[in-house]
Each structure stands twice: as C-alpha cells, then as structure tokens.
A and B are shown apart, each in its own frame.
Chain A
Amino acid sequence: MKTAAGILVGIFVTVCIAAYFQIGGLRLNLEIKPVELATFLVSAFIAVFLQYYLATQVNDRRSEKNLLIDNCRDALTILKSCRDLFWNCYESGKLTKSNKTSILGYLRSLANSLDSLESAVGLSQFSKLKYQFRPAKDAYFSYKNALTGSGFPARPYRNDALADHEKTYRDLNAEIQSLLFQINKQR
C-alpha cells in the first residue's frame, strides 16, 4: 500500500519536473481554476472518506450483527436443550427433583439469554429493534407456562402438556429466528 502510494507520488513529481522544464513536449500551466480545484478537493475528500470512514462503519456494523446473531443462536440452543429435557421427562412418565431443578435452570438461562440480547440490541446501532422484543417475551412466558404451569412439579407431563409444549416451543423458536433474520437484514 505504502509502496504503491510512493510510486504514484514519484510519478507525479517526475511529471511536474518534466513539465516545468518542458521535457518531452510537456508544459506546466500555473493558472489556478477554482472549479477544477474544488472538483479535485471534493474527489480527494470522497476518496479519503470512503476508505477510512465508511469502511470502518461497515466493519463495526458487521461486528455488532455477528455478536447479536451469536446471542440469538445461544438462545435457540438453550431452547432446544429445554425441549430435549421435556421429551425425556414426557417419555419416562416421571418428573424427578433433579428434572425440576434442570428445567428451572434451563428456563432461567433462556430468560437471561433473551434479556441480554434485548439489552445488547438496545446498545447497538440497531436499537430500534428493541421494540420488536415484545412478541419474543410473550412467547417465552407462554413457553414457561407450558413447562411449569398447572401441576408442575407435582405431576409428570401428560398428553395435554405435550400439545401445549409443542405449540409454545414452535412459537418461541419462530420469534427468536425472526429476530435473528431482522438483525441480519439491517443495513
């Protein structure tokens, strides 16, 4: 990069010297034309602006997006673990003390993952998306209600709990994915 700039400056200086001494038919016109000078300055400014400012901006936005998308992925991973645990309990027909602790633990991790995602979005350049968290939050509360409402933890999960779990799981999964897509398509 520095070598290329050096070569360009070298060529420019050589041409100026050649023009000054009128070598090879070159001629130096010392008359200053305001319009051309202004055009040159604007072009130079745009070149510097594009290279340093816009490139930095694009990189910053990409980094923020990657961070937020990672947060969404974390939430989806915890949600899947929750679903697997629910299925284990449902298939075994039991809900042990250890199952109860694990389910509450996963739900807390999921809630905190969504909470930190919401905070991170609020601090990022895409803070307007913060107002689109309500449906995801509602879906989380419905999911938690399906897992730990009614007879939890006294009774094992039955068929009605299975239907409720699957519906609320799908809704929450779709809401988190929708957030992920919205973050990704921000310009």
Chain B
Amino acid sequence: MSIAQGLYLSVAKEFSETPGPRSREEGDFSGEEFLDRVLVPKFDQAVREKVTLTVDLDGTEGYATSFLESAFGGLARRHSPKKVLEVIRFKSDDEPFLIDEIKRYVTAATQ
C-alpha cells in the first residue's frame, strides 16, 4: 500500500523539550503520556487519512530508553510493528542513531 506524504509531529513543540520517564506515576512528560495525548491521536488521524506521519525528534534535551520504549514500543503493541513502521517516518538531525534505536523498540514490541 502506498501512503502519501502527510502529517507532521514535533516532540519538542507539541509535547516537551524535556521528555521524561516511562510512566505517568514516575513523573512529568512520560512516554506513556506522550503516547496517549499526542502520538496515538496523530497516528490514528494519519491512518484514517492514509498519509504518513513524520515524527520530528529534534529540539529536545535527549530521550531516555524508558521514554522511547514506552511511547513507540507502546504504539506498536496497540497496533502492530509493521503498521507503525509503515505509517511513521522519523526525523532526527540532532542524533541520527535515535531512528535505529526506536525502530528496534517497535520491532521488538509484542502485542
């Protein structure tokens, strides 16, 4: 299935420049909060409109493994790794390794 270029999501602008821990109980700006409040609505919209969702990871102080696994691994557990990788494009000029890292969590996620 070919997907047209579409939605854009900047973590720094639409969520926080200081992404936090894994879950809400552990602190502010958690991966779980990002998943529920920002990522899932945008992802669902992209799926409905049959367009890609570009997630811009630049402009933050950095991402902990716990945050990334909770957010992107969590999304892959709700949908499927294949669907997530089909819809989402990642942009990371600040730290190109992040893209590979996130794809690992998505691929390793089991529903």
**A-B interface pairs (CB < 8 A), number:** 61
Assembled-state Cα–Cα distance A149/B22 (Å): 9
Task: For the complex formed, measure the closest distance between the CB of B50 and the CB atoms of chain A, giving whole angstroms.
Answer: 32
> Known contacts being A115-B97, A144-B101, A149-B69, is A105 close to B62, with CB within 8 Å?
yes
A141 touching B21 by the CB < 8 A rule?
A: no
A153 touching B97 by the CB < 8 A rule?
A: no
A108 touching B62 by the CB < 8 A rule?
A: yes
Contact count band on B: 20 to 34
Task: For the complex formed, measure the closest distance between the CB of B33 and the CB atoms of chain A, giving whole angstroms.
Answer: 13
> Known contacts being A149-B65, A149-B69, is A112 close to B95, with CB within 8 Å?
yes
B61 touching A152 by the CB < 8 A rule?
A: no
Task: For the complex formed, measure the closest distance between the CB of B92 and the CB atoms of chain A, giving whole angstroms.
Answer: 10
Task: For the complex formed, measure the closest distance between the CB of B23 and the CB atoms of chain A, giving whole angstroms.
Answer: 8
Assembled-state Cα–Cα distance A75/B70 (Å): 28
Q: Is A101 an interface residue (CB 8 A)?
A: yes
Task: Fill in one digit per residue for A146-183: 1 if any B CB lies within 8 Å of its CB, else 0.
Answer: 01111111110000000000000000000000000000
Task: For the complex formed, measure the closest distance between the CB of A97 and the CB atoms of chain B, giving whole angstroms.
Answer: 9
Q: Is B64 an interface residue (CB 8 A)?
A: yes
| Number of chain A residues whose Cβ lies closer than 8 Å to a Cβ of chain B | 24
Query: What DSSP secondary structure best describes chain B's contact surface?
Result: loop
> Known contacts being A154-B26, A154-B27, is A108 close to B95, with CB within 8 Å?
yes
B66 touching A111 by the CB < 8 A rule?
A: no
Assembled-state Cα–Cα distance A4/B96 (Å): 56
> Known contacts being A114-B97, A115-B96, A115-B97, is A151 close to B21, with CB within 8 Å?
yes
> Known contacts being A149-B69, A152-B21, is A137 close to B97, with CB within 8 Å?
yes
Q: Is B104 an interface residue (CB 8 A)?
A: yes
A148 touching B64 by the CB < 8 A rule?
A: yes
Most buried by A among B18, B26, B97, B100: B97
Assembled-state Cα–Cα distance A114/B21 (Å): 25
Task: For the complex formed, measure the closest distance between the CB of B42 and the CB atoms of chain A, giving whole angstroms.
Answer: 24
Assembled-state Cα–Cα distance A100/B100 (Å): 22
Across-interface contacts of A111 in B (CB, < 8 A): 95-98
Across-interface contacts of A152 in B (CB, < 8 A): 21, 64-66
Assembled-state Cα–Cα distance A101/B70 (Å): 19
Across-interface contacts of A107 in B (CB, < 8 A): 62
**Pick the contact of B21 from A101, A104, A137, A154 — CB < 8 Å?**
A154
Which residues of chain B from 59 to 78 have any CB-CB distance to chain A below 8 Å in the complex? 61-66, 69
Instruction: Mark B residues whose CB is within 8 Å of A.
Output: 18, 20-22, 26-27, 61-66, 69, 94-98, 100-101, 104
A141-B100, A145-B65, A154-B20 known; 11 other A-B pairs, CB under 8 Å?
A104-B63, A105-B62, A108-B62, A111-B96, A115-B96, A141-B101, A148-B65, A151-B21, A152-B64, A152-B65, A154-B27
